[in-house]
Amino acid sequence: MSDTFKGICFGLHSGGHPCVVVPRGAGIDVQIDERHLATLPYRACRISLAGTDDRYLSFEAEVEDKTVRVLVPDRGIIAQIQALGAPRTVIEQLDAAVARRTRRKASKSGVWLGLAGTLAALIILGWYGLGWLEDKAVESIPVEWELELGRASATQFVEQTRICTDPQLKAAINEIGMRLVRGVGTSGYAFSVHVLDTDEINAVALPGGFIFIHRGLIQSADDSSEVAGVLAHEMQHVLLRHGLGNVVRQAGATILVSILFGDAGELQQFLAHNAAQLFSMSYSRDQETQADGEALLLLNRAKLDPAGLTRFLTRIATDDQLTAALPSWLSTHPDPTDRINALHRQSALIPTGETEPLSADWATIKNRCDPAAINPINPI
C-alpha cells in the first residue's frame, strides 16, 4: 500500500488547495476531501523545486486540458516513487532536483557570499534606487512563498483568538467568498475567509489569501452586499500583493537583492520576526484607492451589488455611535471622505450589470457566532 503525503494542488480549483498525494505505479494520484480528482502520469510529469529555500518538490502535468501542479514538502515521496519502479526519466528528474537543492544550500555558506550580496545591493541600490529594487523583489517572489508567509502568520494568529464557527454564518460568508472567487477567475491564491470573535469593526487580509473579518464588522453591516464589498476590497489587497509589498519594503537592501537571486534564507528570518505586523499593517492612499476601484469591478463581475462597499463606508463614517467606537477598519484606512467620494466617481464609470441576490437572511445570520479555537486554516 502506498504512503500518502500532504501537498498543495493548483489547477483543479480557482487557487491552491490542500490535497493528499498518493504515489502509484503509473503516476501520482491527487485527492481532495477523500475524493480522487486527478492522476499525474509519471511520463508526463515535469519535476522541479519550488517555494522558499526550495522547500517543495513540484510535480506538474497536463490532465484533461488542465495544467495540474502539486507541491509536496515531504522528501520521503522520492523514496516511495523509486520503490514503485517509476520510469528512469522520472528518477533522473528527482535526482537532479535533490542535487540542485544540495548545491544551493552549499553555495549559501561562507563570508564571501555575504560580502558579494552586500556589494551587489549597494551597486543595484545606487544605480536604480530603492523603489525599483523593492518592486523587483516583490515581482520575483513566487506565490508559493507568499502562501507560506500568510499561512504561518494566520496560524500564529488564530492560536491566540477564537473563530466564529456557527454553520449558518459560515455558509453565508462562504457563499460570498465563492461568488467573489469565481469573479476573480484563475489565480494562484487559496482564499480563506474566517470571522473573528471580536467586537472590533475591522478586516485583515494576509499575503496568500488569508482573510479575517471581525464579528463587529459583520454585525455593523446592514446586508450581505456590504460584507461582500469589504471582502472584495480585502481580496484585492491580496491580488495586488499590497501586504507582501509592505513587508518587503521593510527589509534591508541586502535581503532584497538575495530575493532577486533566489536566496530566501534571510527573507524567511526577516518575515518570521515581522509576521505579527501583518495584522496591524496600514495601507497607503494609493493602495486603498487601487483596492477600492478593483473591488468595484470584482463585485460587478461576481454579479454582486457594487454599491454595498460605498454604503458601508458611508454609514460607519457618519453614524455617531459607530464613530464613537472608533471603527478600526475605517480609522486605519486613510481619508474616509475622500475614499467615499472616489468610490462614487468610480462607480459612475462602471456599466450597470445584472446582480444575483445572496441567499442568506442577513438580519438573522449576522448575530450568530459560536466561537471556538480552530486550526489549521483551510481555504473556501
pLDDT along the chain (380 residues), means of 10: 80 70 92 87 88 76 86 87 88 82 50 43 48 69 78 79 93 94 84 92 89 93 95 95 81 63 61 64 83 93 93 82 55 67 85 86 93 70
Query: From the CB of residue 152, how many other CB atoms can be counted at a distance below 10 Å?
Result: 19
Evaluated on CA atoms 8, 193, 242, 119, the torsion sign reads negative
- With CA atoms as reference, report the closest residue to 172 among 239, 129, 221, 102: 221
d(CA 280, CA 212): 12
Give the pLDDT confidence score for residue 154 in this predicted structure: 83
Give the pLDDT confidence score for residue 108 in this predicted structure: 46
Q: What is the DSSP letter of 354?
A: -
- With CA atoms as reference, report the closest residue to 278 among 211, 354, 342: 211
d(CA 292, CA 288): 6
Query: From the CB of residue 118, how many other CB atoms can be counted at a distance below 10 Å?
Result: 14
Q: How far apart are the first and last CA of the chain?
A: 31
**All three cell numbers of 259:** 530575493
Give the pLDDT confidence score for residue 271 in this predicted structure: 63
Give the pLDDT confidence score for residue 282 in this predicted structure: 77
Domain architecture of the chain: domains with CATH: 5-107 (2.30.29.30), 140-372 (no CATH)
Give the pLDDT confidence score for residue 344 in this predicted structure: 87
**Main-chain dihedrals φ then ψ at residue 278, nearest 5 degrees:** -60, -25
Q: Residue ranges of the alpha helices (H) in 189-264?
A: 215-220, 224-239, 242-248, 253-260
Give the pLDDT confidence score for residue 304 in this predicted structure: 95
d(CA 151, CA 127): 35
> Cα–Cα distances in Å, from 370 out to 26, 177, 215, 296, 373?
46, 20, 11, 32, 10
Give the pLDDT confidence score for residue 288 in this predicted structure: 87
Question: Strands 192-196 and 46-50: what pairing?
Answer: unpaired
84 burial via Cβ count (<10 Å: 0-12, 13-18, 19+): middle
Give the pLDDT confidence score for residue 301 in this predicted structure: 93
- Residues contacting 191, CB < 8 A, separation 6+: 14, 15, 177, 180, 181, 209, 210, 211, 235, 238, 379, 380
Query: From the CB of residue 17, how many other CB atoms can be counted at a distance below 10 Å?
Result: 20
- With CA atoms as reference, report the closest residue to 284 among 221, 339, 227: 339
Give the pLDDT confidence score for residue 65 in this predicted structure: 80
> Cα–Cα distances in Å, from 85 out to 82, 95, 368?
5, 14, 54
Q: Which amino acid is present at 6?
A: K
- Residues contacting 262, CB < 8 A, separation 6+: 104, 140
d(CA 228, CA 230): 5
> Cα–Cα distances in Å, from 255 out to 129, 243, 249, 262, 303?
15, 17, 10, 11, 42
Helices (H) and strands (E) in the chain, counts: 17, 12
Give the pLDDT confidence score for residue 346 in this predicted structure: 86
Give the pLDDT confidence score for residue 235 in this predicted structure: 95
